[in-house]
Amino acid sequence: MKETSEIITEIIPLIEEWEQKLASLPNETITRRRNSQNRTIKQILGHLIDSTSNNTHRIVHLQYQPTPLIFPNYATFGNNDRWIAIQDYQNEDWMSMIQLWKYSLLHFCHIINNVKEDKLENEWISGPDKTITLKSMIIDFLRHLKLHMSEINNLINSKV
């Protein structure tokens, strides 16, 4: 899929740009400033770790399970906030989180680079009466990643 190389070409520099930027943030900035969903920078990064992990599992399952795939959507009905709370990202070691975020994304790039072309139209049941193709899910991942990195950037630059 031609989009895969474009996605990887955008993710790798994003990691390189953000790894040091995230590591240099003061504790007060990452633990106190909150976005419109009441998430701190630590919680947003934790959500991105969860998103990458869940998408990794979906991509693997979508290549060998019957389609449409029945696989839990961790984000349905606000469950992604439960994931954030249960894993207590707010109190996780920040440097470990940055590395987990980085290497999860690098592994995600490796996985999408190896998706079988004949599996791209396989579907995942993402919600009640809603399906998404593997191809669409891969393409949308970058938008989702950029959205949350933009939220982090806004929180870094906010004066509150």
Q: Domain with 106 in it: what CATH number? A: 1.20.120.450
Q: What is the pLDDT of residue 75?
A: 81
For 59-94, how does the pLDDT look when each residue is reduced to its tens digit (9 = 90+)? 999 999 999 999 888 887 778 999 999 999 999 999
pLDDT (average), residues 53-61: 96
3-class DSSP state for residue 157?
helix
Give yes or no for a contact between 93 and 45, defined as CB atoms under 8 angstroms apart. no
Sign of the CA dihedral running 75, 81, 87, 90: positive
For the chain, what is the domain count?
A: 1
User: Which backbone phi and psi does 125 adopt, to 5 degrees?
Assistant: -80, 105
Distance CA 35, CA 101 (A): 19
CA 76 vs CA 43, 134, 160: distances in Å: 17, 18, 30
Distance CA 53, CA 48 (A): 8
Q: What is the pLDDT of residue 76?
A: 77
- Mean pLDDT is lowest, of 56-60, 73-77, 152-156, for 73-77
DSSP secondary structure letters along 40-92: -HHHHHHHHHHHHHHHHHHHHHTTTS-SSB----TTGGGHHHHHHHHHTGGGS
Distance CA 46, CA 25 (A): 16
Question: How much is the pTM?
Answer: 0.94
pLDDT (average), residues 9-26: 97
Q: Enter the tokens of residue 98.
A: 């940055």
Q: What is the pLDDT of residue 60?
A: 97
Which residue range is the domain that position 14 belongs to? 2-157
